[in-house]
């Protein structure tokens, strides 16, 4: 088992994952943010590698991606920044981004580098499930990487069952059809959607993301899942002039 799988076995509920964009707010902040988030109680992290056309992301993460790209962030730069990751950070780390960036780097090279620096898995939202299964699954497994699939309110039960069978860490339950940064309202259709997934009795744990922004939405999500993922709200809270303090101020509402 990798670190991510061990985490879900050890702590099946109440998990908090934080997403942030590599190279934002400053190019070389990536590892510093990871260290501070671990100290502040995050259970695992999702580090986004930026892309010029982030179609699933709202304005906050789009802006952070553009700034990171303008500062010179690339996958090569990111892997160089993470070379000492496991000397300083113990919690599981995922990389999240779009498939074109991974393909341009080379899938084998990407997976090999992930293992080398200590990354535990990946979230590639636009990687088709059949392509992963037929073309890349063996490579991911060769390097001990978990591939995380996304489920939305529109995902069919048949597809969810297929995803469950292909997953070995957790399933990313997208709270709504909106882009990242929208506000979650756990009532009505959202609640029915979460309950529907819960009643499927999946073998794989689920984490809820998109629209989780504060303690109330985090706790609401935890009622239906193993935990929640916070992205846009955290990225928005980062202060490049007082980075550590801004992270601590954000995290205290969850872990204070």
Q: Identify the helix (H) or strand (E) that includes residue 147.
A: strand 146-148
Marked catalytic residue, from 46, 84, 164, 195 = 46
Specify the DSSP class assigned to residue 132: I
Task: Determine the Cα–Cα distance for residues 173 and 225; give it in Å rounded to an integer.
Answer: 9
Our answer to whether residue 57 is catalytic in this structure is yes
Task: Determine the Cα–Cα distance for residues 117 and 114; give it in Å rounded to an integer.
Answer: 6
Strand partners, 150: 172
Alpha helices in the chain (DSSP H): 3-10, 30-39, 59-71, 75-81, 85-88, 99-105, 107-117, 129-131, 137-142, 157-166, 189-199, 215-222, 232-237, 243-255
Our answer to whether residue 46 is catalytic in this structure is yes
Question: CA end-to-end span of the chain, whole Å?
Answer: 30
Sign of CA dihedral 210, 105, 127, 70: positive
Marked catalytic residue, from 57, 141, 158, 214 = 57
Active site residues: 46, 57
């Amino acid at each position: 088992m990798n670190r991510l799988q061990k985490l879900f076995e050890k702590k099946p509920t109440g998990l908090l994952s934080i997403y942030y964009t590599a190279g934002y707010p400053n190019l070389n902040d990536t590892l510093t943010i990871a260290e501070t988030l671990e100290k502040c109680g995050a259970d695992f992290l999702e580090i986004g590698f930026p892309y010029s056309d982030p179609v699933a992301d709202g304005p906050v993460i789009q802006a952070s991606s553009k700034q990171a790209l303008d500062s010179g962030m690339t996958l090569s730069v990111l892997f160089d920044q993470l070379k000492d990751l496991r000397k300083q950070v113990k919690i599981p780390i995922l990389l999240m981004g779009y498939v074109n960036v991974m393909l341009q780097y080379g899938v084998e090279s990407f997976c090999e580098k992930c293992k080398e620096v200590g990354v535990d898995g990946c979230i590639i939202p636009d990687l088709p499930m059949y392509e992963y299964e037929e073309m890349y699954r063996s490579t991911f497994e060769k390097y001990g990487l978990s591939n995380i699939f996304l489920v939305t309110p529109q995902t069919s039960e048949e597809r969810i069952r297929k995803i469950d069978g292909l997953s070995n860490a957790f399933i990313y339950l997208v709270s709504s059809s909106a882009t990242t940064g929208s506000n979650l309202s756990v009532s009505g259709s959202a609640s029915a959607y979460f309950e529907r997934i819960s009643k499927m009795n999946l073998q794989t744990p689920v984490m809820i993301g998109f629209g989780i922004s504060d303690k109330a939405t985090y706790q609401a999500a935890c009622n239906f899942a193993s935990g929640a993922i916070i992205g846009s709200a955290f990225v928005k809270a980062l202060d490049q002039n007082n980075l550590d303090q801004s992270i601590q101020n954000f995290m205290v509402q969850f872990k204070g």
